[in-house]
Amino acid sequence: SNGINTGDASNYNLLSTTGSTFSVSRATASLTGLKVYDANNTLTGTQLAITGVTVGGTTQTLNYTGSATLYDPNVATLNNYVTSSNLVLTNNGSYLANNYVLPAFTRNANNSATVSAATATVIANKTYDSDTTLSAGQVTITGVSVNGTAQTLGFSGSAALSDANVFMTNKYVNTSGMTLADGSTGVASNYVLPASAYNAASNTATISRFALTATNVNTGSSVYGDPIAPGSVTFTNKFGTDDVN
């Protein structure tokens, strides 16, 4: 009885459960690969997340043994996914691997991967010319190293120094007017330019001193005991209004 339809339960007999079976099928776990571009397709540690069902607002997570790789290591690759020949699910505390199976190693609702762009390194070197403008030959842009050799990139647009003077410290390249271009070994879409700010790891600039040419050198002269007469010199190749006398 349910307290309302009194006596309804008396119309039924409970069948015996002897010999009955009940099974729970395994759910398909989700693989998500996330890494910053490094020119290889290996996934390690937290670069691979394995998740299961959500219970009470908390998504179950699982561990693994074996190795996992990306289908493709490049940023621009669409529909990237995780591949493996020996990945095995393992328990994560009370979250049990036996409740799950791995998804197919193809792009699907349970298998995806994203590669984000790495930050390129910008280094400028020039001889002082009183100007902040940088030519293409004065800027070197490199990326990650492959077999000990850094990938190289080019750029279009305009590059400029933060300051035109030799003595200023922490100089950097203003990258706001630059657009990365493919280089001899690097693909532009795998990288982003560093911010227009000094960063010892990714954005630095050096200015070397300019060699002046002296003409009409007059060393001056004086008689012992008299004030020293100043000499004079003319520099024919100084820049603009620079005062170098």
pLDDT digits (tens, 9 = 90+) for 203-215: 999 999 887 666 6
pLDDT tens-place string over residues 106-164: 999 999 999 999 999 999 999 999 899 999 999 999 999 999 999 999 999 999 999 99
Across residues 49-71, what is the average pLDDT? 97
Mean pLDDT of all residues in the chain? Answer: 89
Q: Among 125, 201, 187, 126, which Cα is nearest to 153's? A: 187
Across residues 31-45, what is the average pLDDT? 97
Q: Is the entire prediction scored with pTM above 0.85?
A: no
Q: Note the maximum CA span of the chain.
A: 138
First to last CA, the chain: 111
* Neighbour-count burial for 59-88, b at 16+ CB within 10 Å, e otherwise: ebebebeeebbbbbbebeeeebbbbbeebe
| pLDDT at residue 1, rounded to an integer | 45
Across residues 227-239, what is the average pLDDT? 60
**pLDDT band (50, 70, 90) for residue 8:** confident
Owner of token pair 């994560």: 92
Q: What is the Cα–Cα distance from 238 to 123, expressed in whole angstroms?
A: 26
pLDDT above 80 for 217: no
Q: Is 173 helix (H, G, I), strand (E, B) or coil?
A: strand
| pLDDT at residue 232, rounded to an integer | 58
Q: How far is CA 177 from the centre of its chain?
A: 20
Q: What is the Cα–Cα distance from 208 to 167, expressed in whole angstroms?
A: 9
* Alpha helices in the chain, H assignment, sequence order: none
Rg, C-alpha atoms of the chain: 35
Q: Which amino acid is at 29?
A: A
| pLDDT at residue 10, rounded to an integer | 74
pLDDT tens-place string over residues 169-200: 999 999 999 999 999 999 999 999 999 999 99
